Structure 1
């Protein structure tokens, strides 16, 4: 895990000293993502600047520093993440100077004339940017699942990009503004990375398995991979072989390692697989206290698993005081309001893991989206056992979110009204965005279509959350199940083999494949969700916090009838929204280190839009 950033002029050369100053500002802004950094790369022609911070986990020598250039000086690369290898191995183009993965990626790029063939076979998680000094082309790329983020915006006659949105704002080139309709849309759907938009006006997110080619002045986006969706029976030993390979690839590290161990199928299999290879690691499990939510059984199962495997286990407690204290802090890292209590848990758990000196942490993110949710409840929209009306557009746009969280939908609808946002326009956009990925693969199976939507939307939301919370503590999170080969097997497999839709049978096929890694208690453990905290004391604390921070956007107080019914999730959302808006407002007033060398380029809010952070 590292951080990358850069600027590409689209309208001619710039003063190289100014580009260098911009690069140093961006490097400083993402220093928490890695302790090592070098001087920015600035092209001789004055049109390209690339910079990076490095969290060295393989080959910690300076030979692996970035930006990295091939021996001919043609390609200059910056790289965030970890690439473990390629599914299309080829002999090295030049004798390796390092054992770090950045040089491996550089060789793959130099081997191909076009980005797609270079990116498609890579195994790992990555965000890349490289400059071809011969052609002048710049390419930005993101891994198959969006594990590593990459944000960009048009500014000052060019394109500026970074691993974090806050880095873009720190430059002063990107105005810190919120578009009301986008805010309402993303609040309404909650945990869904709707598309390439973000919560900030004008800031875009490169999508998973996509690359952006910049051939000045043209910009083109391409998708280089999508899973082939067929119905071919697969055997458990195929899954096991792919899992073992994923474990083997991710076991390499020159720094201390840890694992999140909840005592569920995914985390247990990962810890058992690593332990079987002799990989030294410590395990961590979160325990929720004071009625603030979470699974109450995690510690019991994690303790059993850790004892069976001989792995040290640390129980990390999250109480009301700590959780409430994180509500105004976390939005400054996530660059959005809080939408789920898991955000607090992740941040707190990663903090404990990093404080113990660990640098790499293993997690099971992605297994649910690819292999099955709890008790057969895959996708509310497309479940073939559900009534016919659930398949319809009206249910998705008007009923699904309202039925699942009625108070949340009432609160967001009230905010939409106060912000002069038409909810019909919002729900129409939700339908269009959902259907884009639902229809993006060739299959007659509604469950496979739904799974593709989950992979491209909800999983990206999870990955962004994991990256932001782990990067705060300078950690690299390695999600073992987000492996390309494993995923292609998941999409090839008939859905009925994964889950028989009976209680306690979720992930049937995965459990069979990983059976010897799982104690019987874990195999038969009922999958648990993340219940909403309901402790009156915690509700009261968050209510007081929200009142102290004021209503978001300077809106009137929440109506008394609605206010009386709000719970922890709604009050957390209100308080964190106000804290987030206050945070981004600071970017509009604080001075920039490179002064007047660049001018802000994005337009202010249009007339009639009540954006009042």
Structure 2
């Protein structure tokens, strides 16, 4: 895990000192993502700046620092993440100067003129940017699953990009505006609000398996990979071989390692696979105060697994006081309000791991989205066994939250009314964005289309959350199941083989493939996700916090009837929304007399969507 950033001018040469100062500003803003960096690269033509901060996981010598240039000086590259290898191995183009993965990625880029040909065979999690000094072309790219983020915005006659939105804001070139419709859309659909938009107007997110080419003042994006979805026979032995290969690839590290060990199928299999490969690691499990939400069960199962593997286990306890204290803090890292209790759990867990001086963390993110989750609750648009009255557009846009989270639906609808936003416009956009990825693969299977939607939206939401919380503590999270070979098997596999719909059968095919890596108790354990505290005193603490911060956008006080209904999730959302908006308001700017002069550290004032309210 590192951080990358840069600027591409579309209107000619810029002052080199300005570009250098801009690069240093951006490097400073992402210092928490790594401990080392070189001076920013500024092209001889004065139109490109690239910079990076490096978390050295393999080859900790300075030879691996970035920006990195090939021996001819033609390609300059910055790289965030880990590239483990290639599914199309080729001899090195030059004798390797380092053993770090950045040089491997650089060789792949230098080998192919077509970015898609360079990116498609890579195994790993990455965000890349490279400048071809001969052609002038700059390419930005994101890994197959979107494990590593990359944000960009058009500004100052060019393109600004970075691993984090805060880095863009710190330059003073981006105005932190919030569009009311976008805010309500992302609030409404909550945990699958992952697409090329963000919560900030004008700031875009490069999508998984996508690259952007900037050439001659023009930009265009391309997708370089989609999983094939033709049904075929997939045996457990084939899944196991791919899993073992994924473990082997991710086992290389020159720094101390840890594993999230929740006592579930995914984390148990990963920890067992790593220990069998001789990888030294410690396990960590989260427990909420009083063990609510089944977190006490996590500890019991994780303890059983740790004893079986001979792994030291640390229990990370999170009480209601610490959880409440995180609510106004986390939005400044996530750059959005809190939508799910997992943000609190992840942040606390990663903080404990970093406190023990671990650097690499193994996790099971992605296993559910690829090998489980195909019942009607997760595929409401496409479930072929569901009654017709809950199919399609009406259910997704109007009934999903009204049926499953009615208080949340009433809260967001009230906010829309006060912000003078037509909710039908919002829900129409929900449908359009959902169908983009649902239709993006060639298959007649509605369940495979739903699977693709999960991978491209919900999983990306999880990945962004993991990156934001882990990078706070300068950690690298390696999700073993987000592997191209494993994923292509998952999409080849007929969906009905993954789950028999019997109690405890969630991910039954994956369990069969990995059976010897876990005790029977874990194999038959019911699936459960990250909980949030439910203690009434926690609700009261969040209520007080939200009241102290005020309603988002300066909205009027909540109606008494609605206020009385709100629970943990709604109060957490309101408090964190206000805290996030207050954080954005800190980025203020003074007008610059010369747009190409020294970059200001204070951006333009936040636009107030509350001004759109009815009189």
Taking structure 2 as the reference length, the TM-score comes to 0.97
Determine the C-alpha separation between the residues in 2 that align with 1:363 and 1:590: 44
Indicate the residue corresponding to 1:566 in structure 2: 566
Report the equivalent of 1:190: 190
Indicate the residue corresponding to 1:62 in structure 2: 62
Tell me: CA distance 1:294–1:157, structure 2 relative to 1, closer, same or farther (3 Å). farther
**SS state of the match for residue 37, structure 1?**
coil
Alignment of 1:576-595 (within 5 A): 576-589=576-589
- The answer to whether the 8 A contact 1:375-1:502 is kept is no
User: Retained in 2: the 8 A contact 1:372–1:378?
Assistant: no
Q: Deviations over 1:353-372 (max 9, x none)?
A: 00001000000000000000
Distance change in 2, residues 1:595/1:347 (3 Å):
farther
Please say which of residues 398-407 and 305-314 is displaced more in the overlay: 398-407
Match of 1:597 in 2: 598
Aligned with 1:381: secondary structure?
coil
Match of 2:612 among 601, 610, 613: 610
The CA distance in 1 between the partners of 2:247 and 2:116, in whole Å, is 26
1:8 alignment partner in structure 2: 8
Unaligned runs of 5+ in 1: none
Partner of 2:199: 199
Residue 31 to residue 223, structure 1, CA distance change in 2 (3 Å): same
Structure 1 position 597, deviation (Å) = 2.5
Whether the 8 Å contact between 1:291 and 1:535 is mirrored in structure 2 is no
8 Å contact kept, 1:214–1:220: yes
Structure 1 residue 224: Cα displacement: 0.1
Give how far 1:89 is off. 0.1
Per-residue CA distance 1:173-215 (angstroms, 9 max, x = gap): 0001101000000000001134200000100000000000000
What does the per-residue CA deviation read over 1:274-307, in whole Å, with 9 as the maximum and x for residues that have no partner? 0000100000000111476453310000000000
| Structure 2 counterpart of 1:257 | 257
**What are the equivalent positions in structure 2 for 1:487-566 lying under 5 Å apart?**
487-531=487-531, 533-566=533-566
Q: CA deviation at 1:533?
A: 3.9
More moved, 164-173 vs 580-589: 580-589
Query: CA-atom RMSD, angstroms?
Result: 2.0
Q: CA 1:575–1:590 in structure 2 vs 1: closer, same or farther (change >3 Å)?
A: farther
1:371-396 Cα deviation digits (max 9, x unpaired): 00387854233222211122221111
In the alignment, the residues of structure 2 paired with residue 387 and residue 412 of structure 1 have an alpha-carbon distance, to the nearest angstrom, of: 27
Taking the TM superposition and a 5 Å limit, the aligned residue runs for 1:345-494 are 345-373=345-373, 377-494=377-494
Q: Is the 8 A contact 1:196 1:204 kept in 2?
A: yes
Taking the aligned partners of 1:611 and 1:316, their CA distance within structure 2 comes to 44
Specify whether residues 393 and 4 from structure 1 end up closer, same or farther in structure 2 by C-alpha distance, changes over 3 A only: same
Q: State the secondary structure of the residue aligned to 2:285.
A: strand
Distance 1:114 1:9 in 2: 22
> 1:95 corresponds to which residue?
95
Query: CA 1:385–1:502 in 2, change beyond 3 Å: closer, same or farther?
Result: farther
Tell whether the 8 Å contact from 1:155 to 1:601 is kept in structure 2 after alignment: no
SS in 2 for 1:154: strand
Give the TM-score taking structure 1 as reference length: 0.97
How far the C-alpha of 1:604 sits from its partner, in A, is 7.8
- Counterpart of 2:118? 118
Q: Output the CA distance in 1 between the equivalents of 2:13 and 2:86.
A: 36
Instruction: Give the Cα–Cα distance (whole angstroms) in 1 for the partners of residues 402 and 588 of structure 2.
Output: 35
| Contact 1:291-1:534 within 8 A present in 2 as well | no
Deviations 1:316-370 (A, max 9, x none): 0010111000000000000000000110000000000000010000000000000
| Compared CA separation, residues 321 and 292, structure 1 to 2 (3 A) | farther
Say whether the 8 Å CA contact 2:292–2:533 is kept in structure 1.
yes
Cα deviation code 1:98-121 (max 9, x no counterpart): 000000000000000110000000
- 1:376/1:405 CA distance change after superposition, 3 Å: closer
DSSP-derived class of the 2:565 partner:
coil
In structure 1, distance between residues paired with 2:543 and 2:586: 24
Aligned counterpart, 2:289: 289
Deviation at 1:217, TM superposition (A): 1.1
Where in structure 1 do 4 or more consecutive aligned residues deviate above 6 Å? 599-604
Q: Which is worse superposed, 94-103 or 388-397?
A: 388-397
SS of 1:296's equivalent? Answer: helix
- Residue by residue over 1:382-424, the C-alpha shift from the partner in whole angstroms, topping out at 9 and shown as x without a partner, is 2222111222211111111221111111111111111111101
Deviation at 1:250, TM superposition (A): 0.1
Structure 2 residue 146 is the aligned partner of structure 1 residue 146: yes
Note the 1:235-250 alignment, pairs <5 A.
Answer: 235-250=235-250
Unaligned runs of 5+ in 2: none
Cα offset for 1:590?
Answer: 8.5
CA contact (8 A) 2:116 2:224 kept: yes
What's the counterpart of residue 321 of structure 2? 321
